[in-house]
């Protein structure tokens, strides 16, 4: 008596059982099973209806993660993993906004949504229980440059950072820029060229205060000497503000 051939559904279930509860899975993760993509999609859809997998977003599912209180919703970290990297791990965006500024120690506010900077922003969406908003990235960012862009984003929004003053935020940002290796400071100035003049002026003044005169000069060369930047910073907070037309 010969064994019955394993069905596509059973093959998919066997693969799912090997995953940790809560792990994300995409169509491509079943490619080695020799099942047509359309068949994978149909079976995952049926398994979702039966509660055996949860759909996170189109084409992405996960094994249900249960607690004693019921199903555990998709985490913010999983949402970021899903949205900022392609399946091949290529970066297509990076976290910014209040969530990123909180991690930088610039605000204690906990964000009510995830904000992602990307070259091709789309409409806001909800992934699981996490609300996501997309904003325009100022550069095509590499993974190792994410923190640098987050620092620049904070400088750009220094007047609008929640639960902190521009002076306090500038002090904290200055401390973090000071700790960057020389190569990263150079990259910071390069990336700043994609930002608005006020951000470049503020970074230039900050670098000048840190003794990075050559880098500051590169930023000043592209600024209009007649333009002023109202950033809410006093002379006490930024003693060299007048040389950079900052108010």
3-state helix, strand, coil in the chain (%, to 5): 45, 15, 40
Spatial CB neighbours of 169, under 8 Å, sequence gap ≥ 6: 106, 154, 158, 161
Name the pTM for this structure: 0.75
Give me the count of residues in the chain.
247
Spatial CB neighbours of 80, under 8 Å, sequence gap ≥ 6: 95, 114, 116
Are 111 and 102 in contact, with CB atoms under 8 Å apart?
yes
**CA dist., res. 147 & res. 246, Å (int):** 25
Are 79 and 70 in contact, with CB atoms under 8 Å apart?
no
| Cα–Cα nearest to 32, from 17, 63, 11 | 11
The pLDDT profile of the chain, 247 residues, written as one tens digit per residue, is 444 557 889 999 999 988 888 888 888 888 888 888 899 999 999 998 888 888 887 788 888 887 777 777 777 677 777 777 766 667 788 999 998 999 899 999 877 788 999 988 888 887 767 788 999 998 888 889 999 999 999 999 999 999 999 999 999 999 999 999 999 999 999 999 999 999 999 999 999 999 999 999 999 999 999 999 999 999 999 999 999 999 9
Q: Which tokens go with 215? A: 């880098």
Query: Which residue is it, tokens 């969406």?
Result: 125
Q: Which tokens go with 61? A: 């599912």
Q: Please name each of the domains of the chain with its CATH number.
A: 8-71 (1.10.10.10), 76-244 (no CATH)
Per-position b or e across 67-76, b if 16+ CB within 10 A of its CB = eeeeeeebeb
């Amino acid at each position: 008596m010969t064994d019955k051939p394993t069905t596509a559904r059973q093959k998919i279930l066997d693969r799912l059982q090997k995953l940790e509860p809560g792990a994300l899975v995409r169509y491509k993760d079943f490619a080695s099973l020799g099942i047509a993509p359309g068949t994978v999609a149909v079976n995952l859809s049926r398994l979702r209806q039966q509660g055996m997998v949860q759909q996170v977003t189109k084409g992405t599912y996960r094994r249900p993660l249960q607690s004693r209180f019921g199903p555990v919703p998709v985490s913010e970290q999983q949402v970021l993993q899903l949205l900022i990297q392609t399946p091949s791990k290529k970066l297509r965006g990076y976290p910014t906004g209040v969530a990123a500024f909180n991690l930088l120690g610039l605000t204690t506010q906990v964000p009510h949504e995830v904000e992602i900077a990307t070259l091709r922003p789309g409409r806001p969406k909800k992934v699981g229980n996490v609300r996501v908003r997309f904003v325009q990235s100022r550069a095509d960012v590499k993974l190792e440059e994410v923190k640098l862009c987050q620092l620049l984003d904070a400088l750009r929004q220094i007047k609008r950072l929640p639960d902190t003053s521009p002076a306090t935020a500038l002090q904290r940002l200055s401390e973090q820029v000071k700790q960057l290796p020389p190569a990263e400071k150079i990259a910071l100035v390069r990336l700043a060229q994609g930002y608005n003049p006020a951000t470049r002026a503020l970074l230039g003044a900050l670098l000048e205060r840190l003794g990075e005169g050559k880098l500051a000069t590169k930023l000043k060369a592209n600024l209009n000497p007649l333009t002023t930047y109202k950033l809410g910073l006093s002379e006490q907070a930024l003693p060299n503000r007048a040389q950079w037309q900052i108010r």
